[in-house]
Amino acid sequence: MQIYSLEEVLTFIKKGEVFSGKLSTSGCLIKIEEYLPVVCSAIHSGHHLRDDLLKHCRLSDEERAPHEARLTDDLIASQPITLVALDSRLEYDLDCPKALSTSYKLSVKQKLWDKPMSTKQRSVSHAKHDEFFQIYKALIAKLESQFGKVIVFDLKAYTPNDSDTSSPLFDITTTQIDLTRWQSVVNKCRSELKQVTVPNTESSADLDLIHRGSGYLTTYTNSHFDRTLVLPIQVKKVYIDDQNGDQFPLVLDSLKLGLKQALSETSAFFQRRINLKNRVRSADMLSSAIEPAVLNVDAAIYKLAQRVGILKYVNPVNITAERRRFERAPSRFTPNFHYRQLPIDANGFKQKLYRIPIETISDPAMKQLYSDMIHSLSEQVDLLSTVGQEAFLYNSLRHYGRPDALSINNAKFLLYAKEIAENSGELMDAKSACELMKKQASDWGMKCKVNLSTAILARAMVSSAPPQLKVNTNAQFSYAEVQRLNHHELGVHMATTLNSRQQALKALRLGLPGATQTQEGLAIMAEYNAGYMAHGRLNTLAYRVLAVDSMLNEQNFYHTYSYLTDELEMNRGDAFVTTTRVYRGGGLTKDHLYLSGFVNIKQLSAERDLTNLMVGKTSAEYLDLIDELVQRGWLTAPKFVIDAGQDRAIEASSAESEQSASLSYLIDSLRS
């Protein structure tokens, strides 16, 4: 932590420089990530007592805790400008005038000190009090001169009485607020605080029910400034046990996330309503500079996990030989797939993974994202370390889940529907298809390789290092299928691969938790939007869902193969490939996500803009956060976003239009 003199801090503020550090002469921590018209203070969060006072204090650290508002500094850490007291309010209370700041009273019968503070001791504490308000005054003056009107959130905490079960989670003190000027902002803040959800606690926000302290920060502000609103907010101590100091991490994380949203939404409202900045969003009231701790954690995760690629180690290397063995005696076939050696020590990997210090991240949403990533990567390594073993299926279920009743019913609906024929035309070999895909990549300005491959199960697939589209040498393609693959593989998978390389956050290269379902959903949606979707293509997705379900129920390669060919009338060659896909590794359930991903993305696209899902290997679960990060400048808007709607230049015939209408009806009938 940087340490600055009072003069240095005042100079930084005067010049408008960003900085973060501790005041050398007092227990005050100042952070300015960006100059915005919003300040958050936690003036009761400190618990430090200097040595000459500590030896005379009658209370232990645990006994002092109920009188302080510990951890309130953590609750506001995501905000761009914070003023935090590190010293205990028992030494000097910043919520009182200087003359009264060193006269904290416990009760009539209980004394705080063995002997009263000396004149010298009071002078030292009063000097600290003075320095805080010098900084505060300089900061507010700077912000008022720059923005006009300013809002200050003064966060404190209170311990409810044991008998009081109805005390609110949040309380705003309005006794010193000119409601004729600021009523709308008070109402907005209260409304936002009501939406903060905390485990096992009722969400509530009231006005003037909790009267703790004298509100001197508000008094001081009102006496020196006319264009600054202070909102004193009391939060109930549901996040810590004052008696023993136990913290409740789930509650803390929920409060951090909820307050980030509530305060930034209120600040944005303040800007729009009071400062008349009509287009301000909540993301605009947060720092546009990426938090250093986020970059450090992101780099550590990427360095550790960039070699973790599931398909490389789950795809069998002896598929051709196993297929010949299957064809000789299908009913007696038990797969004996061979796999690449895994160059990862699973236990060592997970030890390093869980040592990554995500707790240093101030932004609660980013901390949660990287926590989720660590959990997901741990699951992936468990999956890879059990390839070919019985535990693989269990780990696959943990990571990818299983098809639910809705997905199974959607799959059956597609297969049982009357076939909508596709005029596929003549087939071309893989080399010809590869040339068409190379041309499309070039037309879209994508710098990537497009090559033939004998080592993939799929008809085509994208790999990221280096960016490359691999085309199955043994496959044949119709023109329509080439176009589908262009939009699926290049238009989404290659686009997100290339877009991810433009981002400062490398997590977008690895894939966020849930990325498989979202990315495949986007890719299939791209086929549909381009006008090259076919009933047969949808049936392929349906077969995969039912193949996974059969694998889980039958646990027999031939039974699943027979189910696909005999009951569902799937082509025998395709049935072998589909069955192999779900039995590889020991039972891979990933394939059920394609259909549900498409259905989910189609529904979501009707509700909101999904463009920012193209910034990298994203997940719809984090779309709100991704949108925020693009707005804040932490992520770059995606360069490659293919406008599929303009890509099919040939007018559709009446027969094609009728087929398209029937297909759209079929797709619209899928349940989500």
What CA–CA distance (Å, rounded) separates 146 from 46? Answer: 30
Cα atoms in the Cβ-side hemisphere of radius 13 Å centred on 629: 25
652: confidence class by pLDDT, cuts 50, 70, 90: very low
Both tokens of residue 160?
A: 């409810």
What pLDDT, in 10s, does the model give residues 550-597? 999 999 999 999 999 999 999 999 999 999 999 999 999 999 999 999
Structural domain boundaries of the chain?
3-177+206-238, 309-343+386-668
pLDDT over 60 at 646, yes or no: no
What pLDDT, in 10s, does the model give residues 125-178? 999 999 999 999 999 999 999 999 999 999 999 988 766 667 999 999 999 999
- Between strands 28-32 and 460-464, the pairing is unpaired
What CA–CA distance (Å, rounded) separates 564 from 544? Answer: 10
DSSP state of 389: S
- Greater model confidence, 308 or 295: 295
Region of residue 360 (left: phi > 0; alpha: psi -120 to 50; beta: else): alpha
- Between strands 28-32 and 19-23, the pairing is antiparallel
Listed in sequence order, the residues at least 6 apart from 527 whose beta carbon sits closer than 8 Å to its beta carbon are 484, 487, 488, 533, 537
Q: Give the number of residues written for the chain.
A: 672
pLDDT of residue 654: 46
Residue bearing tokens 């002092």: 64
Under 8 Å between Cβ of 517 and 617: no
Listed in sequence order, the residues at least 6 apart from 375 whose beta carbon sits closer than 8 Å to its beta carbon are 513
Cα atoms in the Cβ-side hemisphere of radius 13 Å centred on 87: 29
Amino acid letter for position 314: V
Residue bearing tokens 């996040």: 239
What pLDDT, in 10s, does the model give residues 424-436? 778 999 999 999 9
pLDDT of residue 601: 96
pLDDT of residue 649: 40
What is the mean predicted confidence (pLDDT) over 252-266? 98
* CATH H-level, domain 3-177+206-238: superfamily: Zn-dependent exopeptidases (3.40.630.40)
Beta bridge mates, 30: 21, 83
What pLDDT, in 10s, does the model give residues 36-84? 999 999 999 999 999 999 999 999 988 899 999 999 999 999 999 999 9
Residue bearing tokens 């703790």: 212
What CA–CA distance (Å, rounded) separates 201 from 199? Answer: 5
What CA–CA distance (Å, rounded) separates 460 from 434? Answer: 10
242: confidence class by pLDDT, cuts 50, 70, 90: confident
Max distance between CA atoms of the chain, in angstroms, equals: 99
